Copies of this chain bind each other. A is one copy, B any other.
Amino acid sequence: MRPTTKDLAKAAGVSLATVDRVLNKRPGVRKKTVEAVKKAIEEIGFVRNLSAANLAKSRQYRFRFLLPRRGDLFIAELRDRIFETNIGLAAEGMEITHQEISQVDPHLIAQTLLKIRRDEVDGIALMAPESPQVRDAAIRLQEKGVHVVHLISGQQKLSDMDFVGIDNHAAGATAARLIGRFVCGLQGKVMVVSETMNARDSLERRRGFDQVLTRDYPNLTALPSLETHGDEARAYEIISNMINNSPDIVAAYVMSSEARLPLNAVARQTDPQTLTVIAHELTDRTRKALVSGEVDAVIAQDSGHLVRSSVRLLRARCDKREIMRSQEQIRIEILIQENLLPAQCALRSNDHGSVANSFDD
């Protein structure tokens, strides 16, 4: 059997309580005693039993995801993953919930944040566009003892605020490289479409995109970013205008996580098969577009990873543990027809009715 705290206590010649203090770096132990215990740990090869610790603490973690209300397919994906993760981690004493927040209004978002009480939740994963109000509210929340991580679109780079999501500059650069290579030296313009350029993520993607495109592909010129503002009619109008004004468009980069509107508009205006198109995030829509050839590649961040990484981060913060930042880096996935997994995204749960306990059959 593996040595336990009891064995460790005996080996170190101290009591269980002291062993516990050393293991958990609690104060009130003489340096000499700490050393003795540490030595004993090495000697008997002690490894603590997490299950036992968790049980004894009987600590519950309550985390809440705050996601924009908009009916975005990618957000829907995230919601499903949150739900799944909650089921999966319930048995480990976690309760992961989800709350909708305003899509745009920083005041409303800040208000929502400020209403959150310490006794409701232990941590928040926030997906909201950058703004001073929101940032301040987040800081206030942290001061109350509620941990906060920023999801995907981060608030201003503050070293003490955790961010979970892909490196958007690199994502934009990836898009540019793919377009540059796929277009095969063709001369022409590249259309860039986003939901809004008010978000940090869009700006960073654009910068990364431009950097690679201008440096490596002089045959291509990126057009100014088009903003749909999530409005279908508007999307169609600006995109068709652009296409009519610039007949030499050879590629399109759909920057925002909601690709439906831009893709639909492009499809109505041109033959997307002849256009090189890169979009973001794997949703039912982009998957379909990938399979049909309407889109050439999708740049994606795995929604499940995003959720689980956020949870791990929050949990680490609650336990005052350091995390392996490198292990929590979200990968920039390049998806084409051939490396699309059959299952991926195909198992979107439509109703959330059946909370399965592991012993259900």
Contacts and interface: CB of A to CB of B under 8 A. Distances in A.
Contacts of A339: 170-171, 174, 299, 331-334
A321 interface: yes
A2 B22 CA distance: 30
Nearest to A319: B358
Contacts of A344: 326, 329
A93 B343 contact: no
A92 B50 contact: yes
Interface string A66-105: 0000000000000000000000001111000000000000
Interface residues of A, number: 59
Nearest to A46: B357
A51 interface: yes
A359 B34 CA distance: 12
Interface in A7-61: 22-25, 41, 46-52, 54-55, 60
A331 B361 CA distance: 28
A310 to B, nearest CB: 17
Nearest to A297: B334
Interface in A162-189: 167, 170-171, 173-174, 176-178, 181-182, 184-185
Contacts of A346: 326
Given A331-B341, A339-B171, A341-B329, A357 B47 contact: yes
B48 A338 contact: no
A346 B176 CA distance: 25
A336 interface: yes
B359 A24 contact: yes
Nearest to A329: B341
Given A171-B339, A174-B336, A336-B177, A51 B93 contact: yes
A347 interface: yes
A9 B296 CA distance: 57
A91 B50 contact: yes
A325 interface: yes
A90 B55 contact: no
A61 to B, nearest CB: 12
A357 B55 contact: no
A327 to B, nearest CB: 8
Given A336-B174, A336-B177, A358-B321, A51 B51 contact: yes
A174 B338 contact: yes
B55 A49 contact: yes
A336 B338 contact: no
A242 interface: no
B47 A51 contact: no
- CB-CB nearest 3 A-B residue pairs: A326-B343, A184-B184, A332-B339
Given A23-B359, A25-B361, 5 more contacts: A176-B338, A177-B338, A184-B185, A331-B339, A333-B333
